[in-house]
Amino acid sequence: MTILYFIDIVGTMVFAISGALAGRDKKLDFFGIAAVGLITAIGGGTMRDILLGSTPVGWMKDLIYLAMIGSGILISLLFGKVVLKLRRTFFMFDTVGIAVFTVLGLQKALTLGVHPIIAIMMGMVSAVFGGVLRDIVCNEIPLIFRKEIYALTCLCGGILYVILQRAGLDQGWNILVTVLFIASFRIFAVKFKWQLPDIS
C-alpha cells in the first residue's frame, strides 16, 4: 500500500464522516445522511478525474472506497450525537480532509503529466468540490464562496508541494509537510479570523 493510496482511502472516510455529520446536523433521515456522506466523499475526486480524463473514476475501480465511505457513515450514525457536540471535532474532520485531498489530487494530476499550475488547481478541486456539494445539498452557502479562508489554503499548499518537489524533497516528507501546512493554515485562519477582503 503506497502512501498516496493510504491517504486517499483515509481522506475518503474522513470526508464521509464530515458529510454524514452535516446531514445529521440538518436532521436528515438515514438515506439523507448516507447520501450527503457519499457525495462529500467522492465529489471532489470524481470531478478531478472527469476533468483529467481519468475514467472510470477512482472509487469505481476499487470497492475499498465504498467500504471506507460506509464505515465513515456508520461511525457518524453510531457516535454522531457525541461528535456533533464537539464542534472542533467536526472542524478537524473537514480540515484533515481538505489537506489530504489537496495532496492526492495534485499528485495524481502531476502523474498524468499536466502542467504544475493545472495540477495545483486539480488539487484544490479535489479538496473542496465535495464540500461544495455537501453545503449545497444541506442548503448552506459553500465555504469557498464566503470571506472565510478555505480554498486559498489548498492553493497555497499545492504551491508549496510543487516547490518542495522541484527542490528534491522525498515524496513522503513532502506529503507530510504539505498536509501539516494546509491543516495548520486552516486552523490559524479560523482561530485568528483571517478573512479575504469584502469588496461588496
Per-residue pLDDT band at 162 (split at 50, 70, 90): very high
Average pLDDT over residues 49-77: 91
Whether residue 1 is predicted with pLDDT greater than 90 in this model: the reply is no
Q: What region does 53 belong to: left with phi over 0, alpha with psi -120 to 50, or beta?
A: left
Q: Which residues have C-beta within 8 Å of that of residue 98, sequence separation ≥ 6?
A: 127, 128, 131, 150, 153, 154, 182, 186
In the chain, the amino acid numbered 140 is: E
Lookup: cell for 108: 495524481
The β-bridge partners of 195 are 148
Q: What is the pLDDT of residues 87-120, one digit of tens each?
A: 676 677 778 878 988 998 998 899 999 999 999 9
Q: Judge contact between 153 and 182, C-beta under 8 A.
A: yes
H-run or E-run covering 87 = helix 87-111
User: Where are any strands of DSSP class E within the chain?
Assistant: none
Count of beta carbons in the 10 Å neighbourhood of residue 78: 10
Average pLDDT over residues 63-80: 90
| Confidence at residue 182, expressed as pLDDT on a 0 to 100 scale | 95
Whether residue 84 is predicted with pLDDT greater than 70 in this model: the reply is no
Per-residue pLDDT band at 178 (split at 50, 70, 90): very high
Lookup: cell for 100: 489530504
Least confident segment among 20-29, 119-128, 151-160: 20-29
Q: What is the largest CA-CA distance in the chain?
A: 50
Distance separating alpha carbons of residues 127 and 156, to the nearest angstrom? 13
CA 157 from centroid of its chain's CA atoms: 13
The top-scoring range by mean pLDDT among 2-6, 66-70, 103-107 is: 66-70
| Confidence at residue 32, expressed as pLDDT on a 0 to 100 scale | 94
When the pLDDT of each residue in the chain is averaged and rounded to a whole number, the result is 87
Distance separating alpha carbons of residues 126 and 8, to the nearest angstrom? 11
For the whole model, what pTM was predicted?
A: 0.83
| Confidence at residue 191, expressed as pLDDT on a 0 to 100 scale | 86
Per-residue pLDDT band at 85 (split at 50, 70, 90): low
Lookup: cell for 58: 477512482
Distance separating alpha carbons of residues 125 and 35, to the nearest angstrom? 20
Of 72, 89, 85, nearest to 15 by C-alpha is: 72
